[in-house]
Structure 1
């Protein structure tokens, strides 16, 4: 089996996330993409994040109907900070014969040396990097090559078209009472409205 974990705050999840998941599913011939909403992400402790159960509900709505997409509450049920190395160790322990991939943006690749226990992360998965705006490809390729040499592990750059959408942009539009339904998977806007999210704030 080949499975990928797609972690993120998903606050809110948008069609850019779904696009990435499908590209990974098809390009890597995956059996499953597991969406993993962060519980307490260490890099966002200073930023307000929507309650875990609401973000979980938005992701559940977004992936409804896709048999090869699933959602895990592993990190949001954890009492500790959401460290990637711990998540990957646990999932590898549960399914030792699964080939694991972990989806991250190119921004994460460029700051990977700041992550906790990188060697454990790379021992427990193949890192798959998707594009984001604002990064020169020469710099990305150099970082990929340096990390592969340093840790003796393969890192995959996911060849895909870029949908330049951000959760921050969506929250700003909602706070300005602008339409966002074209940026969100079906059902997500209903959850946003149900909990009155992102009004009068960015």
Structure 2
């Protein structure tokens, strides 16, 4: 059976930490493909300033274009309405019925998932895969994981992997303050940020 994962996120901007997580998931879960899914209009960030969806999509596209097992989807960025994860999973599971689907996201999303729209359907449609983030107790994460698995008869994978100390938030802050960020992301992504004067 083909095994594919959707890696959801704002990717504002995508950086080496995201690529590191993707490769760890690819190898540890023996995946055939990882599809990066830049969020279009995420309902939980409506009040935050988020870079235009198509620009974020282009940055991800250029970041993964030479990676054989990575691709990027414009599915959410081309939607006119809000982007809900369960809708995205419904679309892809119907598109490829014989594929085993995974969904990769941060552990913060696991802890908050019961506030997501139609979250039981998310857990039914895929194997939910979460990577750790600073500030989260592994003990509490595992408690949440087991509780959700038992309640919804689902499978959740916790990827306890060494993380690169990089965040999109800190990159945006560094750019605004005139600091170099070329060591934190693929060169082509850095070029887009410089050419379009993003985050300044």
TM-score range, shorter chain: over 0.9
TM-score w.r.t. the length of structure 1 is 0.97
Q: Which position in structure 2 is the counterpart of 1:75?
A: 76
Q: Which position in structure 1 is the counterpart of 2:52?
A: 51
RMSD of equivalent CA atoms: 0.7
SS of the residue 2:198 aligns to: coil
Q: CA deviation at 1:104?
A: 1.1
SS of the residue 2:187 aligns to: coil
How many residue pairs align between the two structures? 199
CA distance in 2, matches of 1:134, 1:106: 10
CA distance in 1, matches of 2:54, 2:145: 35
CA distance in 2, matches of 1:137, 1:29: 23
Q: Which position in structure 1 is the counterpart of 2:172?
A: 171
CA distance in 1, matches of 2:160, 2:109: 17
Q: Which position in structure 2 is the counterpart of 1:96?
A: 97
TM-score w.r.t. the length of structure 2 is 0.98
Q: Which position in structure 2 is the counterpart of 1:140?
A: 141
Q: CA deviation at 1:164?
A: 2.1
Q: Do structure 1's residue 61 and structure 2's residue 62 form an aligned pair?
A: yes
Runs of 4+ more than 3 Å apart: none
Q: Which runs of 5+ in 2 are unaligned?
A: none
CA distance in 2, matches of 1:89, 1:164: 33
SS of the residue 2:7 aligns to: strand
Counting only pairs closer than 5 Å after superposition, residues 32-51 of structure 1 correspond to structure 2 as 32-51=33-52
Q: Which runs of 5+ in 1 are unaligned?
A: none
Q: CA deviation at 1:160?
A: 1.4
